């Protein structure tokens, strides 16, 4: 089995989901001192989200941009210097972004699929000498009607990577934004122990994304929610907005606590027991709109539950991004929150 990454943080907002695609931003948002600090906290890896336009222009497919690849190279160099691993996550791919579902073409367009596979072939050749300290995560938060098309493309990319680098650790997630409930629909790669399966954990969404402007239900519900605790006025809200009822929002009579989180994590426990495969939680976190004591309490309980299951994790996110451990100036939001998410043992 591959060596494990147990405690890490995402570098969101740097070369993915950036506010501006400028040299000034890329040169300053994350620096060597940030990686040194993350290592000093006791973490063992970072997850590096990447949007493909940083390394490839739509005007010149297959021509990879050294000025963009430079940032991955530097991050890997810094991680090696300070003893951290790195998960390279393709956050946005040719023809696919989890933020523009209506215009995605990846699963319909063979040219986009060829570009997707070719990116991973390029990375496989470029980083062939970097093994256990660098994992490849195929794509972030796939959303499609069913899992079949993503499973086919993922297996195609894995086969291409394996042809170049048979030992590379590959991270492979499921449908519906890497939902823990979709682990059962991932088509496992038989006899390949160097694949780690992944999910994201932001449950319950009404709490972790409270007041988030990009989520229609949280924007309209617009309540401050404490953890542990209940969901104030939720019955009345759902009566007025029945389109949001059911599923994970059916929490009007629910007390949110560690026991609820443990139930939400049960699909992960079942996946590992039934498949014998390792899992990695590539994202988890609580928005900074939540009360700080509630953020701390939720993280403490989630980290404890993941550790007991033996699941490695990377919190979202290091800097800003509405979920940051540090603010724009690099100041730590709360030392106790940092201590909790950095805990390995």
- The helix/strand/coil state of 164 is helix
Q: Check if 33 is active-site.
A: no
Is position 217 within any domain? no
Strand stretches in the chain, DSSP E: 7-10, 45-51, 85-92, 134-137, 170-173, 195-201, 279-284, 312-315
Check residue 345 and give its pLDDT.
76
Q: Which domain holds residue 318?
A: 7-208+257-342
Check residue 262 and give its pLDDT.
98
Is position 320 within any domain? yes
Neighbours of 84 (CB within 10 A): 22
Check residue 1 and give its pLDDT.
37
Is position 231 within any domain? no
Q: Check if 36 is active-site.
A: no
CATH number of the structural domain spanning residue 141 = 3.20.20.80
Report how far residue 149's alpha carbon sits from residue 168's, in angstroms, rounded to the nearest whole number: 23
Please answer whether residues 84 and 38 qualify as being in contact, where contact means their C-beta atoms are separated by less than 8 angstroms.
yes
Tokens representing 126 are 């470029």
Is position 274 within any domain? yes
Q: Could you report the per-residue pLDDT of 161-212, keeping only the tens digit for each?
A: 999 999 999 999 999 999 999 999 999 999 899 999 999 999 999 999 999 9
- 56, 137, 182, 283: which one is catalytic? 283
Relative to beta strand 7-10, strand 279-284 is unpaired
- Number of domains, the chain: 1
Is position 30 within any domain? yes
Kindly give the parts of the chain with pLDDT less than 70: 1-3
Is position 215 within any domain? no
Is position 239 within any domain? no
Is position 247 within any domain? no
Report how far residue 172's alpha carbon sits from residue 132's, in angstroms, rounded to the nearest whole number: 16
Cα separations in angstroms, 170 against 2, 8, 215: 10, 17, 30
Report how far residue 291's alpha carbon sits from residue 187's, in angstroms, rounded to the nearest whole number: 39
Give 63: exposed, middle or buried? Use CB within 10 Å, 0-12, 13-18, 19+: exposed
- 56, 141, 182, 289: which one is catalytic? 141
Check residue 3 and give its pLDDT.
57
């Amino acid at each position: 089995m591959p060596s494990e990454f147990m405690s890490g943080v995402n570098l969101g907002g740097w070369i993915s989901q950036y506010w501006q695609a400028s040299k000034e931003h890329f040169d300053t948002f994350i620096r060597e001192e940030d990686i040194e600090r993350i290592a000093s906290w006791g973490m063992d890896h970072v997850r590096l989200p990447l949007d493909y336009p940083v390394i490839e222009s739509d005007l010149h497919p297959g021509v990879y941009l050294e000025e963009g690849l430079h940032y991955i190279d530097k991050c890997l160099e810094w991680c090696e210097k300070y003893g951290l691993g790195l998960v390279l996550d393709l956050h946005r791919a040719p023809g696919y972004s989890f933020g523009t579902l209506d215009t995605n073409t990846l699963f319909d367009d063979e040219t986009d699929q060829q570009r997707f596979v070719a990116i991973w072939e390029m990375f496989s050749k470029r980083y062939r000498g970097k093994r256990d300290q660098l994992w490849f995560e195929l794509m972030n938060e796939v959303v499609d009607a069913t899992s079949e098309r993503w499973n086919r493309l993922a297996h195609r990319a894995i086969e291409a990577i394996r042809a170049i680098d048979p030992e590379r650790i590959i991270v492979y997630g499921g449908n519906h934004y890497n939902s823990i409930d979709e682990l059962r629909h991932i088509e496992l790669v038989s006899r390949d122990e160097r694949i780690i399966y992944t999910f994201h954990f932001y449950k319950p969404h009404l709490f972790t994304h409270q007041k988030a402007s990009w989520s229609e239900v949280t924007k309209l519900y617009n309540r401050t929610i404490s953890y542990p605790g209940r969901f104030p006025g939720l019955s009345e809200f759902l009566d007025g907005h029945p389109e949001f009822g059911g599923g994970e929002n059916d929490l009007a009579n629910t007390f949110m606590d560690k026991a609820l989180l443990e139930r939400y994590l049960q699909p992960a426990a079942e996946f590992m027991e039934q498949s014998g495969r390792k899992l990695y939680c590539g994202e988890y976190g609580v928005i900074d709109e939540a009360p700080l004591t509630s953020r701390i309490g939720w993280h403490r309980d989630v980290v404890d539950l993941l550790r007991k299951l033996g699941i490695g994790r990377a919190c979202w996110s290091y800097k800003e991004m509405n979920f940051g451990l540090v603010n724009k100036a690099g100041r730590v939001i709360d030392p106790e929150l940092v201590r909790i998410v950095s805990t390995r043992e």
